[in-house]
Amino acid sequence: MDALKTIAAGSVKENVPEFGIGDTIRVSVNIREGNRERIQMFEGTVIAKRGSGVAETFTVRRVAYGVGVERVFPLHSPNVKDVKVVRYGKVRRSKLYYLRDRVGKAAKVKEQIRK
């Protein structure tokens, strides 16, 4: 088991920003189309985080053209190039699955003022 931990420790990224549930983030993802590669941005609200170490993942939700879109990203994946925090949210839950049932302004998360 210790051998697995040492191998996994080599795959953990060092420069991951601190973000939490309810924060709006912009994720840069590497997309492969045939033999071409490009960077695609996905911006939305973090509704869940789970796991630890190299297996840590986070779920980002956004509404595009009236349809809710959720993506689960492995935090330490080589395809996740960059994570930037756009704004910090003020929430009192560890999972924001209730946002799936909300529409319009009711689906917003209050902003937390940080100094």
pLDDT digits (tens, 9 = 90+) for 5-49: 777 777 787 788 899 999 999 999 999 999 999 999 999 999 999
Q: Sorting pLDDT into bands at 50, 70 and 90, what band is 1?
A: low
Whether 107 is in a domain gets the answer no
Whether 104 is in a domain gets the answer no
The type of residue at 114 is R
pTM confidence score: 0.86
Whether 56 is in a domain gets the answer yes
Structural domain count, the chain: 1
Whether 28 is in a domain gets the answer yes
**Tokens 């996905």 label which residue?**
42
Whether 10 is in a domain gets the answer yes
Closest CA to 60 of 68, 106, 52: 68
pLDDT of residue 4: 74
- Walk across the sheet containing 57-64 and list its strands: 67-74, 57-64, 36-50, 24-33, 80-87
Q: Sorting pLDDT into bands at 50, 70 and 90, what band is 107?
A: confident
Whether 106 is in a domain gets the answer no
Range of the domain at 31: 2-98
